[in-house]
Structure 1
């Protein structure tokens, strides 16, 4: 296994000297899925935006496949192999499914193989290729957003709020695909998700943020079997980092 994402002592926020995420450390190996959890306002989207270079880090470093990403430079993160699927999906709604995908393909010659590859993950899109993205259902739009990320061959894939606006039954169908993507492509995935139990069933590891601080981290399966630790981490009713089986500052 190879470390593809390493984040060391990262402070993140929107005003210099006033971080809302503090001393954030993370290491992910190829094919590893991390569920990044926490209540609203905990700093999850801020972490993803900083990793993706959309926000400059206030301190610390981010490395992708041993390549240091220049703070606040999305191009640097993208060139290193990081791709973000934002919570609003950021599709070109007046363009068709095919056109959205083609825009992300780096080589025209590769289009046929790329098309076939993503449709293996999302066969439902095969009959929607000529449909405008804005006319798709919410689930189909999320499929397209992830498919567009995959044709860029990410080493690190960030997915912010996959379930935003989707029915639970749709989320149950999409999350196993994220697992399959990690297993088959070797991409490391950071998944921000409010459906905690479903996220833990999908992920290898999990980390809970509260008020910008890592308060709980461990193997996803172990945390799924200890829901009281997750509840305490969300509500702040105790210090779950002192509980058996959890780790602070390192990946399990």
Structure 2
């Protein structure tokens, strides 16, 4: 496998000398999924914005396919194939499903409307409906579908579950796994439902107070929940489970 995304000693933040996430190292292969986890305020969204070029790294470097991204340039990131699905979904609410998808399409792209409707049949049935009239789950499908129309090399999904019922999240997360397999895109998934995220991810990384508290194979971490719990909270819960981590909102 080829390495699609590499971060080397990345500091991410909003003011020089005050990083929110510190010394983050990542190496993500094409077609793999990374679950980026951590409690509220850990720096996950800040790191995602930095990977997408919306924030300039305060230190370190980000590479896609071995080429360094121009720091703080969203246009350069998009040209390199980095596509972000933000936590607010950023849809054009007055436009229909089809219109939102077509706006994101690239000339000569192999990805078609039928491709997206294959992943999300519900969108096909709602193709002519305005995005503002869709349910929360359908809006998230559309946000992901719009990102896929850009043929991402690196797909960043920030808070897929925001405002959604767990049963909807459970149906959407496997699509990220399928997309990675089908397209070869490297996917970084910020998700508050830890157990569900670990089911579809290959690897996981936990940020806590801006530092990398834990990283490892997703299956191994899912089998030893206490390691995740300790990385989140510095201690195990009374029942030894992931109840707090699972319900903690991630940002």
Give the alignment's TM-score, normalised by structure 2: 0.92
- Which residue of 2 is the match for residue 250 of structure 1? none
Return 5+ residue gaps in structure 1 as ranges.
239-252
Partners in 1 of 2:207 and 2:66 — Cα distance? 25
The 3-state SS of whatever aligns with 1:55 is coil
**Cα 1:62/1:110, change in 2 over 3 Å:** closer
Deviation (angstroms), 1:106? 1.6
**Cα 1:21/1:110, change in 2 over 3 Å:** closer
The 3-state SS of whatever aligns with 1:184 is helix
Q: Indicate conservation of the 8 Å contact 2:109/2:151, yes or no.
A: no
- Which residue of 1 is the match for residue 246 of structure 2? none
Give the alignment's TM-score, normalised by structure 1: 0.92
Partners in 1 of 2:58 and 2:174 — Cα distance? 35
Q: Deviations over 1:163-184 (max 9, x none)?
A: 0000011001001111100111
- Which residue of 1 is the match for residue 185 of structure 2? 187
Deviation (angstroms), 1:103? 0.5
Q: Deviations over 1:166-222 (max 9, x none)?
A: 001100100111110011111000000000000000100000000110010000000
The 3-state SS of whatever aligns with 1:13 is strand
- Which residue of 1 is the match for residue 150 of structure 2? 152
Q: Deviations over 1:42-99 (max 9, x none)?
A: 0000010000010110011000111211111000110001000000000000111111
- Which residue of 2 is the match for residue 97 of structure 1? 97
Partners in 1 of 2:178 and 2:199 — Cα distance? 13
| Number of corresponding residues | 236
**Cα 1:215/1:97, change in 2 over 3 Å:** same
- Which residue of 1 is the match for residue 245 of structure 2? none
- Which residue of 2 is the match for residue 54 of structure 1? 54
Partners in 2 of 1:234 and 1:40 — Cα distance? 10
**Cα 1:232/1:110, change in 2 over 3 Å:** closer
Deviation (angstroms), 1:110? 5.3
- Which residue of 1 is the match for residue 139 of structure 2? 141
Partners in 2 of 1:226 and 1:12 — Cα distance? 29
Return 5+ residue gaps in structure 2 as ranges.
237-251
Say whether residues 1:230 and 2:228 are aligned partners.
yes
- Which residue of 1 is the match for residue 43 of structure 2? 43
The 3-state SS of whatever aligns with 1:207 is strand
The 4+ residue runs of structure 1 with deviation greater than 4 A are none
Deviation (angstroms), 1:41? 0.2
